[in-house]
Amino acid sequence: MEKFISREGLVAPLDRANVDTDAIIPKQFLKSILRTGYGPNLFDEWRYLDQGEPGRDNSKRPLNKDFILNQPRYQGAQILLARENFGCGSSREHAPWALLQYGFQAVIAPSFADIFYNNSFKNGLLLIKLDAKTVDRLFKESEASPGYRLAIDLDQQTISTPGGEHFSFEIDAFRKHCLKNGLDEIGLTLAHADKIKAFEAGRRETRPWLFN
């Protein structure tokens, strides 16, 4: 996983609540056995006017001009602004893969669904929870000012607006540590291998029916 360093980026506001992972990356693209190649099909059903299929040349497909990511002012956006319960639904990790591969490095919303939240951090996609009022303000500001950018400081856990306002956000210390250092969580867990083995040996005694 790549290290997340503090950065600033163009904001794209996606103004709808309960954006589910089926919308983020539709099921037909889940047939792939690869980790890459999902960016062009991010939000496929909203982004294109026709139906996407794996293996199609997306550059030739008709775009839905009304969709936020197709508007010229949001080209190159790196920060997605969203409403509550972003990422609900399926556990598909293809959702954070698609967001990252499109070019997003962070998503800001009042709340995120649990599995999506876990999946995102394991891939270096920073999810930032801010209260609904603040998010609403950011929506208004970003829609009102083309080229609206936000600066994210992971160390300080703050977001800064072009107007010089700062908002702090919470992040779990362990997740922050992994994100900053691009750590492989499996490696960290395997540092406890002896403890896991001892636990497992005890469990074979107390719950033998679990070990066929």
Instruction: Report residue 23: phi and psi, to 5°.
Output: -75, -35
Q: Is 6 in the site for other proteins (CB under 8 A)?
A: no
Return d(Cα 106, Cα 159) in angstroms, integer: 11
Least Å from the CB of residue 37 to other proteins: 12
Q: Is 195 in the site for other proteins (CB under 8 A)?
A: yes
Work out the end-to-end distance of the chain between its first and last CA atoms, rounded to an integer number of angstroms.
Answer: 35
Among 2, 75, 114, 131, binds other proteins (CB under 8 A): 114
Among 58, 85, 134, 160, binds other proteins (CB under 8 A): 85
Query: Of 72, 30, 25, which Cα lies nearest the Cα of 44?
Result: 25
CB-wise, 119 or 142, nearer to other proteins? 119
Return d(Cα 156, Cα 177) in angstroms, integer: 13
Return d(Cα 156, Cα 203) in angstroms, integer: 42
Binding pattern for the stretch 150-179 against other proteins, x by CB under 8 A and - elsewhere? ----------------------xxx-----
Among 28, 156, 168, 181, binds other proteins (CB under 8 A): 28
Going across the sheet that includes 166-168, the strands are 126-129, 106-109, 79-82, 7-14, 149-153, 158-160, 166-168
Least Å from the CB of residue 29 to other proteins: 10
Binding-site ranges for other proteins (CB under 8 A): 15-18, 20, 22-23, 26-28, 30-35, 45, 51, 54-55, 83-85, 88-93, 96, 111, 113-115, 118-119, 122-123, 172-174, 184-186, 188-190, 192-193, 195-196, 199-200, 203, 207-212
